[in-house]
Structures are given as structure tokens and as C-alpha cells.
Amino acid sequence: MAGAGRPWRSAGLAFLAGGVAGLGHVPFGLPLLALTGFAALFWLAAGARGWRGAAARMWAGGTGCFAVTLFWIVEPFFVDAVRHGWMAPFAIVLLTGGLALFWAGAGALGHALAVGPASRAPTIAVALVLAGFGRTYLFTGFPWVLPGYVWSETPVAQLASLGGVHGLSMLTLLAAALPVALLRARDSWPRRFAALGLATLPIVAAGVWGAARLSAPLDLTETRVRVVQPNAAQHLKWRPDMIPVFFSRALELTATPADPPPDLIVWPETSVPDILSRAGPAFAAMRAAAGPDAVIVAGLQRREAARFYNSLAVLAPGTADPWDHYDKHHLVPFGEYLPYAAFWARFGLDGLAANVDGGFRPGPGPQIVTLPGIGPALPLICYEAVFPQDVFRAPARPALLLHATNDAWFGDFAGPYQHLAQARLRAIEQGLPMVRAANTGVSAIIGPRGRVLVGVPLGEAATADAPLPAALPPTPYAIHRDSPVFALTLLLLGLAALARLIGKKAVARPDIQG
């Protein structure tokens, strides 16, 4: 009976270790505790007798991590609790368990490739980096709370300008795995502890380098920017009696006097309560509130025949007519559209934020919009900001990132802060400023090193004004993208496979003494 209970005990410990690792992410923000959790999880996975056991323990650890970090995923289902509330338990179970399958695959692959007990933890760690790439690129992608984000509130995050979030993940996971490898190595304890000290040096060096990078002067342009946060609660936002209330509030915030007045005013996602083709009166009111000289960017829906798009419109100075627009291309599955909509419609299911006929349609892809008198900008709507590739695949380098979002869907605890942290990392990766307008918060004007210059706290109706920071020269990550870290990941796993193959051949071919 005791033997039968050991797998469950190991799985339970792995679940707890994963939960501790999840505490590294905001709003908790405890990266050193995350390293401890990952180290404990790698110790458990490396101690498994076979790859199946390692996969099971890593799956349990992933489930624990995602349960801690993604519990807010139930919030959207309670916006309309009568229709969607029953789905919430299924959503949290399926999402956490489903994402943990990537961790299980990393455990199986790393354990199978490792030469011996001492090399299992680092090999599993590198395989987990590969799993992060899988979460980013496979299917529609969902790279939320990748391991590298545990450093988002620290100077270590500046390393993203070199290797992106996946480079940060590799640093994090290897920093947790190397001590495990050293403790499992057959060496003297003094040497183990000396090596353990050396294993912490990369994190320390990254922090020192990041602090120096953050201390560099910040260049500001002459463009004055205002972000508008109307704070429209999601369960009230589309009520007929509340639509004019929230729109009037946004107009009042837009008209707030300032000296000098803003040159660019940004409203959140779907903050204009009409589709683009019928928004003339709304645009006229916005122009009157903003004055004649400001560029206005605002979120709204666009319609072509029966197709709806989640869009941004740009109003040039001196006019209330749209100058340019952008259609969101990276849609939220089961939120903005329903995969296999005809099938689900038989059961009366539709997307949480969907319109008719299966929801929104995707736009053509990353697109640069021109802000007259300011320069080119790359729009990102909602969770497009969590995808590094949605930024580096832009057809040209912009002068700034425009992030319009409605984080009212994410509740008021973890989700909005995680979204902000991941958006800030896009600024660091590219060396570009970001203007972020969020319906309920957190709205912010962010510098090219990810630092928030000004912002509006979560749950407040207000504006924030600041000069637009100047862009930095293209960072190494902006130039080389994910290729170097992905290639290094494959190289390390390939070397592990080669070492295992050589080891097997050496065992199979004993020396013959003559």
C-alpha cells in the first residue's frame, strides 16, 4: 500500500512545487521563490525512474503553477453568469491541465535524453524552454506566464532586449536546474557548494547589467500623449442605459484641460459604442472634446457585410473622419470567436465577446498605422501584446507600440497586472515606447526599457499625460528575434541526445582484453 501511494505523494509534492513557482509572477512577484519551486520540481522529475514518471510529475507541477497564476480565467464567465457561469469550472480545469501537457512533454523528453541522474534536471529545464516555444507558436498560441516573466518587476527583465522572454525563461530554468544537478553529482560537498555559488552568477550579472541599463537617461520627444481610462465595468458596459454614461465619461476625460494640450489621445478597446461605418456622430463628439489638433486613436467594431472585426480607428487632426484603421488579427479562441462554431451552436454555445455567426473575423496580420505628425505605430489589441511574434513580424519598425485593451474581462486581481507585465516586456524586447489604454486599467505610458512613466491605477476613471519617450535603436532581439534562443535550445537538446547515444554505444561495446 505504501508503494502504491508514492506516485500520488510525488505528484502532490510536484503540484505544490509548481504552485510555489507560480508565485514568481505578478501580482505576487517573488522570483527567488519561483527559482525554489522550479528547483524542487526538477528534483522530483529528475528522481523519477523513467520518462513516464517524469512526465507525470512535470504535469502535476505545471497544473499547480497554472492553477496559481491563471485562476482569474474564470472571471469572464461570470460577466454573464446566467449564460456562461457553468463553464467556469471546466475552463480552469481544462486550461490548467491542458497547458500542463507542455510541461509533461518537457519532462518526458528531458528525462529520456539525459545521460544520467545529474544531467536530468538541466535537460528537463531546456526541454521546458522548448515547451515555451510550443505554447507561443503552436495552434493559436497562449504564451501567458512563461517562466521568464517572473523577472518582470526586476532589472533582470532587461535581458529580454537580448534574448526575449524565451531567453529569460532559459536563464530562469537553468538557474533552478543547475543546483539540482550539482547536488545529484558524485562530487565532494565543498565542490558542490562552490559550484552552487557559481550557478547564481548569471542571475546576479543579469541584474547588475539590467540596473545599469535602467539608469541610462531617457530621451523624450515633443509629442504629448494622453491615455483615457473610462473604467466601464464589463457587466454594465453594453447595457443600453449605461452606454451613453460611459461614452460621456470618456469624452469628459478627453476634454480635461492641459498645458500643453495632448498631441495624441488613445482610448481603450471597443470604447466607441458603435461600428465604424456608423460612428460619425461619436467621432464628431470625440473631435469636439479633443480639440482640433490632436490625433485620436480609439477602439471600436468594424463591419463588412456579416463579418465583424475588433478594430482601432485613427482620426487625423482637424477632422472627425477615420484616417486609418487596424483590424485585430490574433483573436481569443472561445472569447472573440468560436472554433467550429456550427458544431457548438447545436448546443447553444457562443463566444464570450462574440458577435453573430461565430464571432469576430481576424484581420490580415500585424499592420503599421500612420499617426499624422507623430510617426508610424504598431497597434496591438488586447492579448496580442503577449505574443512577441505579433510585434517582430510587423512590416516595418514603428516609432511606438499602441496597446488598446479591455482588461475588465480579467477581474481585478491577477489578470490585469499579468497583462501589463507582459506588455512591458514587449517594450523592452524591441526598445520601443508603448502607449497603453485599458478600459478599467492599468493604463500607462511606458518607456523603451519597460519602465512606466505615468499610469492610471486599476479601477479608476482618469487620464494620464506624459511626453512620448523616444525609441531606442533596434535591440539585438528586435534584429534576431527568437532564432538564437530557439537554435541554442535545439543545440543543447541535440548534444544531450548525442551524449546519450554515445553512452549507450559504450555500454554495448565492452573492452576486449587479449
Instruction: In whole angstroms, give the CA distance from residue 118 to residue 92.
Output: 35
Strands 400-405 and 434-438: parallel
β-pair partners for 190: none
Phi, psi of 444 (to 5 degrees): -165, 155
Instruction: In whole angstroms, give the CA distance from residue 87 to residue 279.
Output: 34
| Sequence-separated contacts (24+) of 278-283 with Cβ below 8 Å | 279/313, 280/320, 282/247, 283/313, 283/315, 283/320, 283/321, 283/322
Strands 307-315 and 462-469: unpaired
State the catalytic residue, choosing from 65, 75, 237, 269.
Answer: 269
Q: Give yes or no: 384 in active site.
A: no
Handedness of CA 389, 422, 370, 478 (dihedral sign): negative
Phi, psi of 454 (to 5 degrees): -145, 160
State the catalytic residue, choosing from 75, 237, 328, 384.
Answer: 328
Q: Give yes or no: 382 in active site.
A: yes
CB 267: neighbour CB atoms within 10 A? 27
Which residues contact residue 31 at a Cβ distance below 8 angstroms, ignoring those fewer than 6 apart? 24, 150, 151, 154, 156, 172
β-pair partners for 466: 225
Contact 33, 19 (CB under 8 A): no
β-pair partners for 360: 308
Phi, psi of 67 (to 5 degrees): -65, -35
- Element of type H or E holding 427: helix 415-430
State the catalytic residue, choosing from 75, 382, 384, 429.
Answer: 382
The SS3 call for residue 513 is coil
Which residues contact residue 4 at a Cβ distance below 8 angstroms, ignoring those fewer than 6 apart? none
Q: What DSSP line would sit under 236-304, residue for residue?
A: HHT-TTTHHHHHHHHHHHHT---SSPPSEEE--TT-SSSBGGG-HHHHHHHHHHH-SS-EEEEEEEEEE
3-state helix, strand, coil in the chain (%, to 5): 55, 15, 30
Handedness of CA 124, 126, 130, 136 (dihedral sign): positive
Contact 184, 116 (CB under 8 A): no
Phi, psi of 466 (to 5 degrees): -165, 160
Strands 295-304 and 375-381: unpaired
Q: Please identify every residue annotated as catalytic.
A: 269, 328, 382
